[in-house]
Structure 1
Amino acid sequence: MRTKYGHLTYCSNIHPGESWSEHFLQLKENLPLVRKNLSPNAPMGIGLRLGNEASLELIKPSNIYEFQTWLKNEGFYVFLINGFPYGNFHKTTVKENVYKPDWTTNERLDYTLRLFSILSQLLPKELEGGVSTPPISYQFFDITDFERKQRVRASTQNIIKILHHLIQVQMDTGQVLHLDMEPEPDGILGNVELWIQWYLDVLLPTALPEIQSKWGFTKEATEGKVKNHIRICLDVCHSAVSFEKNKTIVWLLKENLIQIGRIQISSALKAKFSKDPKPTLDLLSSFDEPTYLHQVIIQSEDGQLVSFSDLPYALLRGARPFEEWRIHFHVPVFLDSFGMLSSTQSELIEILNLQKDFFLTNSLEVETYTWGVLPKELQTPIVTSIIRELQWVKSILESETNLKVVE
C-alpha cells in the first residue's frame, strides 16, 4: 500500500507452494482479506516470492495474462520479487541449501533473468522494481581463501551480466529494475560493511570498464548505471543479528552513493542472560527447529563477538552470564518481548525512523516467513498475523514522535 514514506507490503514467502498454481491459490485466498482490512479503497502492492519452479510456470504468456487480470480486478500490483530462495522453502530442510545454486552458476543467472522478465511485465509504469538475491554464496562452501576469491570473481561476472540486461531493459522500455543483494550472517557478504567493501573493491572496478566499453557511456554515467541497477536489500533482522549500527549503515551507504533497493522489515530473536543462564537457554531450545538456518552471534560482557552457524551449535556451547545472543530467527515485528526472551524491535523502530528522516528507499517489505516454525504459543492465524504486522509498521511510520539521528 502507498504510504507517505514509501510502498509498504509483505513478502509472499510467508505462504507455501512451490509451483505457481499452488502459490497463486494461496495469494487468492489470503491477499484479498489483507487488503480489505488495510487498503480497501486503494491498490495494494505485493512482494512476490517465486521459486524456480513457479517462475518457469508464470513466465508462460497464458499464466502471466491470468495473473495480470487478477491483479487488476482485485486491486493489487507487483513491484518486488524475492529471488533469494531458488528451491523449496517450506516443510523441508532448507538450511544452507537456500544459497544453492549460488551466483557462480548459470542456474542462478537464468533464474534471476527470468524473474526480471516477469517483473517487467507486471510492474506499474510509474514504479521501479527490484528482485532480491543472495549475497553471492554461503561462506562455508569454501575451504580456502583462494576458493572463496574464485567464487567471488565468477559470481561478480554473472552479476555484471544481469547489469547489462537491466541497462538494456531501461534503454528499451524506460523501466528501472534493480538487483537487491541481501547481506546475511555467514553469507560471503555477511554484513553491510562486507557488502560495501565488495561493491567498491570488486564490483565497480570490474564492471565500470566493461560497461563503459560496451555502451559508450561517460565514466560518471557508467557509475550511475551500476549504482542504479545494483542495490542493497537491507534486512533489518540480519543487520541486527550482526550487531551493526543502523546510523553507521545509513552513513556508509550515503557516503558511497549506494542505493537501498528495499528495506526488509524484520526482527531477530534476542536473549540477554543473567547470572543463571539455564532458564533462558531452555526457552531458546524451543526455537531450535530443522527447517531454516538460525545463525547466532553472541556479544560478551566486554563487547567481544563470537558467531555460530546455527542455533544447535550455540546451545551445545552454552551461555555465559551477562552475554547477549542475537539469533537469525524472524519473530513477529509487533513483539518486543515474550517471557525472558525479546526481539530486536528497537533496531527495527530506529531504521523506520531513519526512513522517515531520509526516505532511504521507496520499497518497504515485511518479511516474517517463520510463522509455521515458531513455538506453538506464538503462532496465530496467518491473515491475522500479516494484518497485525502491517498495522504495527504503519503506526510507527505515522507516529509524530521520532528517534533523531545523532550527528
Structure 2
Amino acid sequence: MKLVHSSGSLSHLSYCSNIHAGESWQAVRENLQRYIPGIRDALVPGEEFGIGLRLSAAAVNDLAQAEALQEFRQFLAQNNLYVFTINGFPYGPFHGTRVKEDVYLPDWMDEERLRYTNQLADVFASILPDEQNGSISTVPGAFKERVAGSDDIRQMADNMVRHAAHLAQLHQNTGKFITLALEPEPCCFLETIDESVHFFSQELFGDASTDLMASLTHTDVDSARELLRKHLTLCLDLCHAAVEFEDPDECLAKLEAAGITVGKLQISSGLRLKDVSASTVDSLEPFIDKVYLHQVVERHNGTLNRFTDLPEAIEHLGNSQESREWRVHFHVPIFLEELADFSSTQSFVAAMLSRHKKKPISDHLEVETYTWDVLPAELRTQSVDQAIVREMRWVLEALS
C-alpha cells in the first residue's frame, strides 16, 4: 500500500510472501491468489496494494516465460496490485526442510548468485510499474565462516558490481530503476552496521569497484561511482539490527554519513531475554527447530558474544546462574511485545518507525515474519492471513 508522509514523500508498505511455503512459480502464484486479495480488502479496500514477492531460482525461471509473465501482469491489473520489492535472499527451498546455513548459498562468491539475481532483475523490470522504483534484497555476502580472506571479499564485491552494471543497463534499456539491497544478518560476512559501512566504503564504493563499473558501463569514473551508490544499497532488517544491539540513532547516522541508501526497511522483531541463566533457558526450547538458524547475540559484562544457533548458545551457557541478556534471531509477530517468560525486540521496531515517521528511512517497507510455520503453537492462535493483517495494522498505527 502507498503511504504519504507529511513532507509529501511516498513510501510503499507490504509483507513478504516468503511467509507462504512454495518454491515453484505455480505454488507462489496460488498463494498470491489465495491470500493477497483478502489481505488487501481487509487493509485498503478499493485501493492499490503492493506485493513483497519472494521468488526462488526455480520460480523466477518459470515466471520468466512469456506466457507466465503475461498471465501474472493480468492478475496484478485485475486485482489492483503491484510489485515494488522482491526478496532474492533464499535461492532454494525455504520451508519444510533443513535450511540453516545453506540459505546463504549460492553466495556472492559464486557466479550462480549473480546469474540468479540478474534474472530476478530482468523479470522484475517486466512487471515493475512505470515510474516505480524496485528493490531486490539479497544475502549479506556470505556466511561469515566461508569468507577466507581478501580474495573472497574482492570476489563478492566484483560480482555485486557486475550486478550493479546489469541494473544500470536495464535502467537504460527499459526505464525501470532497480536497486540491490544487501541484508546484514548475525554470523554473516555483513552482520553489523559498522561492518556494512566498511564494506560499502572500502570495497563497493572504492577505487577497484569504481574502475570495474566504469569499464562495464563505458562511463567515466565519476559517473560509475554515482551508479554504484544508486544501485547498491542496504536492506535494514530490524530484527537483525536489534539482535546485534544496534542503537537506532547511531545506526541511521552511520549509514547517512557513509552515503549508503536504505533500499528496503524490513520490519521484523526477534526474541529478547533480558535476564537469562541456566534456570531460565528452558523457556527457549520450543523455539529450537530443524529448519532455520536462530543466531544468538549475548551481552555479558559489557561484551557481545555470538553463537550460530540456539543449541550452541544453550550448551555454552551450561549450568551458569550468572545473569546476561540474549537476543535471538527468531522472527516473531511484530504485534507481540511480551511472550510468556521473555519479550521481543518490538521496542526497537517502534523506535525505528518513529524515526521513519519524522524522516523517511526508506521508500520500501516490508513486514517479514517468515517463521510462521515453526512458531510455537501458542503464538499461532489465528490464521496466517489474520496475523499478517494484524501486523500491518500495527505498523500503520505506529506510523499514524
Partner of 1:369: 370
Give 3-state SS (helix, strand or coil) of 2:50's partner. strand
1:303-362 deviation per Cα after TM superposition (whole angstroms, max 9, x unaligned)? 211111100011112264331100000011001111121001111111111111221211
For the 8 Å contact 2:108–2:142, the answer to whether it is kept is yes
Distance in 2, matches of 1:351 and 1:112, equals 29
Q: 2:97 aligns with which of 92, 108, 116?
A: 92
Gaps of 5+ in 1: 399-407
For the 8 Å contact 1:273–1:321, the answer to whether it is kept is no
Partner of 1:249: 251
Matches within 5 A, 1:254-333: 254-273=256-275, 277-300=277-300, 302-318=301-317, 320-333=321-334
When the two chains are superposed, the root-mean-square deviation of aligned CA atoms in Å is 1.4
Q: Pick closer, same or farther for the CA change 1:279–1:28 going to 2, 3 Å.
A: farther
Distance in 2, matches of 1:50 and 1:42, equals 25
Give 3-state SS (helix, strand or coil) of 2:227's partner. helix
Partner of 1:57: 62
TM-score, length-scaled by structure 2: 0.95
Matches within 5 A, 1:371-386: 371-379=372-380, 380-386=382-388
Give 3-state SS (helix, strand or coil) of 1:7's partner. strand
Partner of 2:352: 351
Partner of 2:226: 224
Letter in 1 for 2:20: H
Letter in 1 for 2:244: S
Give 3-state SS (helix, strand or coil) of 2:259's partner. coil
Partner of 1:394: 396
Q: Pick closer, same or farther for the CA change 1:320–1:3 going to 2, 3 Å.
A: farther
Matches within 5 A, 1:8-87: 8-87=13-92
How far 1:285 sits from its partner (Å)?
Answer: 1.2
How far 1:117 sits from its partner (Å)?
Answer: 0.7
Gaps of 5+ in 2: 6-10
How far 1:86 sits from its partner (Å)?
Answer: 0.3
Partner of 1:402: none
Distance in 2, matches of 1:45 and 1:353, equals 22
Partner of 1:127: 132
Q: How many residues align?
A: 391
Q: Pick closer, same or farther for the CA change 1:26–1:397 going to 2, 3 Å.
A: same
How far 1:219 sits from its partner (Å)?
Answer: 4.0
Partner of 2:241: 239
Larger CA deviation: 204-213 vs 91-100: 204-213
How far 1:18 sits from its partner (Å)?
Answer: 0.5
For the 8 Å contact 1:288–1:311, the answer to whether it is kept is yes
Give 3-state SS (helix, strand or coil) of 2:370's partner. coil
Letter in 2 for 1:152: I
1:241-295 deviation per Cα after TM superposition (whole angstroms, max 9, x unaligned)? 1111111111011112210001000001011226xx3453111111111110000
For the 8 Å contact 1:271–1:326, the answer to whether it is kept is yes
1:85-108 deviation per Cα after TM superposition (whole angstroms, max 9, x unaligned)? 000000001000001111111211
Letter in 2 for 1:317: H
> Is the aligned partner of 1:107 residue 2:112?
yes
Matches within 5 A, 1:164-243: 164-205=165-206, 206-215=208-217, 217-243=219-245
Letter in 2 for 1:313: E
How far 1:175 sits from its partner (Å)?
Answer: 1.9
Larger CA deviation: 216-225 vs 335-344: 216-225
For the 8 Å contact 1:136–1:155, the answer to whether it is kept is yes
Give 3-state SS (helix, strand or coil) of 2:101's partner. helix
> Is the aligned partner of 1:339 residue 2:340?
yes
TM-score, length-scaled by structure 1: 0.93
Larger CA deviation: 203-212 vs 388-397: 203-212
How far 1:160 sits from its partner (Å)?
Answer: 1.1
Distance in 1, matches of 2:88 and 2:42, equals 28
Give 3-state SS (helix, strand or coil) of 1:290's partner. coil
For the 8 Å contact 1:271–1:280, the answer to whether it is kept is no
Larger CA deviation: 186-195 vs 29-38: 186-195
For the 8 Å contact 1:280–1:341, the answer to whether it is kept is no
How far 1:211 sits from its partner (Å)?
Answer: 2.4
Identical counterparts, % of pairs: 38
How far 1:215 sits from its partner (Å)?
Answer: 4.0
